[in-house]
Chains A and B, each alone.
Chain A
């Protein structure tokens, strides 16, 4: 079955530590995205990538980093510079030229800083 997999589902991090969230898709989608969801707010875009080895900052990229070395994978690193990292993180993918097809989302990673 094709899909998009995020791991882990729950993640706890100590303050000052970097942590990497995994996102893998086998849908042969060109584009991949990272969103953050906070209570009472919509999904906010952190980073996106439309092709391998290229990525762009979204609206709230500060304190995050990404890589896109393979088409299937788009890991997100939450660095110690991110001031308020506790949130629900969603990874998504899509065909680059099919906007009405929408995104396929993973099931999310809930990150908690302790």
Chain B
């Protein structure tokens, strides 16, 4: 059973606009959340993280929002750039867990 879900397999956005990628989870014990970016035939690279004691974390153009009551997190990219075109995975883990659970990914295309 998929504990972390990304319901949008793909997203297209114009360059300069905001990209919003969504992620839902089912396990209320999850405390840590990460976003990864992946290019084809490469390993994912860590982008940004958030713990459950916060509802927002910002790093440059990337902001992650966490809504624990809704078991939902989102990644905002502003402004979007063509180089942001990649597959984005969200991942979640509990404080006592031994692994991160990954979503199925959202393929973002930023159109110049």
Contacts and interface: CB of A to CB of B under 8 A. Distances in A.
Given A33-B99, A56-B98, A102 B34 contact: yes
A105 B37 CA distance: 11
Contacts, number: 66
A35 B103 CA distance: 13
Nearest to A58: B99
Interface stretch (B13-21, B42-50, B67-75, B78-86): B42-50
Contacts of B42: 107-108
Contact of B49 (A6, A50, A102): A102
Nearest to B43: A105
A100 interface: yes
B4 interface: yes
Nearest to B87: A37
B36 interface: yes
10 contacts: A40-B9, A41-B104, A42-B2, A43-B89, A88-B41, A99-B32, A103-B100, A104-B46, A105-B44, A106-B43
Interface of A: 4, 6, 9, 33, 35, 40-45, 48, 50, 56, 58, 88, 90, 92, 99-108, 110
Q: Which 8 A-B pairs have the closest CB atoms?
A: A105-B43, A43-B102, A102-B46, A42-B102, A42-B104, A99-B32, A100-B49, A102-B34
